[in-house]
Amino acid sequence: MLCRVQQFGLVEYAEAFRLQEERVAQRKAGAVPDTLLLLEHPHVYTLGRNAKREHLLVSDEQLRALGAQLFETDRGGDITYHGPGQLVGYPIFDLTQHRRDIAWFMRSLEEVFLGVARDFGIAAERLAGAPGVWVGNDKLVAMGVHIARWVTSHGFAFNVNTDLGFFEWIVPCGLRDKGVTSLAKLLGRPVRMEEAGQRTIDHFATVFGFEIELERSTVEGRK
């Protein structure tokens, strides 16, 4: 099965949301194959369907001072942060071509990043009742999805070289007793985003049984 991987670089969150909507409509119509959008965002906090506004610990004025935006979304989960140095992925997959099983899809996403972590010599794991990929008590990869007519959107946020200080202004994913981490923190060195992206693509191919078609894109020059 073919998966088209589109790599965009840094994209504003609102524009990436519109891009997802476009790809979802195309996937539902069968106009495009399963598609994985890989990108980074400028500083932004996003609220999932189950988010509590009090989990944002700063005022609107402080938010502006941080240079961050705030968006409400239709994904699952609570509040999270996206920013430069974080690999964000939006899988636009038709689960009728895989398995009509949301739990299976989430476990498969986790399996991708358990494999990526192993590539970097990190022993990551699942945590019961808390979607994502964890190293001890700290989340390395956050996940939240939306599924309509079995087509997925939203996805994952993989902390590669993320400035973890931005997580101090929220209760990440609504979990007060958990922390966050990054590849750079765990390894004690920066990691090239290209390497993290390629390993992610490789494990998507393995876990989902994909043949990968790579496409470097810009938002202005959508294909």
Q: Give catalytic residues, as residue numbers.
A: 173
- Strand-pair category, 44-47 with 69-72: parallel
Radius of gyration (C-alpha) of the chain in whole angstroms: 16
Contact 44, 13 (CB under 8 A): yes
- Which amino acid makes up residue 30? G
Beta bridge partners of residue 88, listed in sequence order: 39, 157
Reference 41, options 66, 4, 15, 23; nearest CA is 15
Residue partners of 103: CB distance under 8 A and separation at least 6:
none
Contact 152, 192 (CB under 8 A): no
Reference 89, options 43, 152, 14; nearest CA is 152
Residue partners of 127: CB distance under 8 A and separation at least 6:
134
Residue partners of 98: CB distance under 8 A and separation at least 6:
104, 105, 208
Residue partners of 144: CB distance under 8 A and separation at least 6:
48, 75, 76, 77, 80, 131, 154, 155
Three-state DSSP class for residue 126:
strand
